[in-house]
Amino acid sequence: MSAQPSTPTATPVRSFSDVAVGDALPSMTVHVDRARLVQYAGASLDRNRIHWDEPFAKAVGLPDVIAHGMFTMGSAVTLVTDWAGDAGRVVEYGVRFTRPVVVPYDTGADIEVAGVVKSADPETKRVTVELTATAAGEKVLGRALAVAVLD
Amino acid sequence: MPVNADFQGRVYPPTETYRVSAAKIREFAEAVGSADPVHVDADVARTRGYADVIAPPTFAVLIAQQCDGQLIRDPEAGIDFSRVVHGEQRFVHHRPLTAGDAVVGTLHVDTVREAGGHAMVTTRTELATEAGESVCTATSTIVIRGAE
């Protein structure tokens, strides 16, 4: 870490007046490999072996190690927190886990994340973003909705 | 059914206090790839009006899954953990979880139902400070796959 003192800036929160229903958020690709899953397992305390132990995962009928659904959920929402300008502005967030993200040892996996503004309430400045997340061409999250309060 | 239906409506006693640390917030933010400095720089967080660094939106799962463990490990519930799949997850934040928070979780078993030979259990963990301030509601649906 740098020893330089930080230089806080004013809150860079997106202005509600700059947002319209139908706006697309900048899309992103999340690359996930085994090292990342071990990192997430430690950080989240979810140490289920299916997320890092390939022989175990295969023994319980999975094609390979799979990512934590919560890893996919947690990394996908950074699209919204970065766009909103402050992670604390995301006040609601829910998803369905529709398919697992399979993470092969050699290549890892790419999760493509996109978002569209579905609704915007001028009274509360609450904006609902629908996220899509796909891996290997399949949707891995369903009904993924995040609500952010803008300025 | 691979789960005891009598558990619907059950409420577990509040858990032991979980102390939210700046170190755990940083570790979690790095693991999900959130680059917002509000997770790691207390000066940035204070400039934005928070008391200290704040957690990413899904951090609460760490505490909520420990609460869920009370149900999953409860022998009377009859849940085979090796058959559990995470179906849905949702968070409603009343305010961000913040470093220094001392949080207790109260686990509610909202619904237990069966569909297609599988059981689905929806739990709700209410996270509040020791002083009683509501911080987050975390709702989770797990699917317990039936025998082949």
Q: Give the C-alpha separation, B63 to A9, whole Å.
A: 31
Contact A144/A130 with Cβ under 8 angstroms?
yes
pLDDT of residue A28: 98
Chain A CB contacts of B32 under 8 Å are 40, 43, 71, 74-75, 78
Fold of B5-20+60-144: Thiol Ester Dehydrase; Chain A (3.10.129)
Of B31, B37, B89, the CB nearest to A43: B31
Global pTM? 0.94
pLDDT, averaged across chain A: 93
What are residue B68's phi and psi, to 5 degrees?
Answer: -55, -30
Q: Which residues contact A79 (CB under 8 A, 6 or more apart)?
A: A25, A26, A27, A28, A113, A114, A115, A129, A131
pLDDT over 50 (residue B1): yes
Of all residues in chain A, the percent with pLDDT exceeding 70 is: 93
Chain B CB contacts of A42 under 8 Å are 27, 31
Task: Test B86 with A97 for CB contact under 8 angstroms.
Answer: yes
What are residue A85's phi and psi, to 5 degrees?
Answer: 100, -5
The distance of A14 to chain B (nearest Cα, Å) reads: 13
Residue B9 is classified by DSSP as T
pLDDT over 90 (residue B148): no
**What mean pLDDT is predicted for residues B30-47?**
97
Q: Give the C-alpha separation, A67 to B129, whole Å.
A: 31
pLDDT over 50 (residue A3): no
Contact B99/B28 with Cβ under 8 angstroms?
no
**Predicted confidence (pLDDT) per residue in A87-145, tens digit:** 999 999 999 999 999 999 999 999 999 999 999 999 999 999 999 999 999 999 999 99
Q: Is A73 on the interface with B (CB under 8 A)?
A: yes
Of all residues in chain B, the percent with pLDDT exceeding 70 is: 99
All domains of chain A in start order, with CATH: 16-31+68-149 (3.10.129.10)
Please name the residue of chain B whose CA is at the shortest distance from the CA of residue A13. Answer: B48
| Unique residue bearing structure tokens 């078993």 | B109
Q: Give the C-alpha separation, B108 to B111, whole Å.
A: 9
Q: What residues form DSSP beta bridges with B127?
A: B105, B136
Q: Is A38 on the interface with B (CB under 8 A)?
A: no
**Predicted confidence (pLDDT) per residue in A62-74, tens digit:** 999 999 999 999 9
Domain ranges, ordered by start, for chain B: 5-20+60-144
More confident residue, B6 or B27: B27
pLDDT of residue B115: 86
Cα three-residue angle B86-B100-A77, rounded to 5 degrees = 35
ipTM beyond cut 0.90: yes
Q: Is A91 on the interface with B (CB under 8 A)?
A: yes
Place A2 in a pLDDT band, splitting at 50, 70 and 90. very low
B contact test, residue of A33, A50, A53, A81 with most B CBs within 10 A: A81
pLDDT of residue A95: 98
What are residue B69's phi and psi, to 5 degrees?
Answer: -55, -30
Of B28, B39, B48, the CB nearest to A11: B48
**Predicted confidence (pLDDT) per residue in B75-86, tens digit:** 999 898 878 889
Please name the residue of chain A whose CA is at the shortest distance from the CA of residue B25. Answer: A43
Q: Give the C-alpha separation, A103 to A20, whole Å.
A: 36
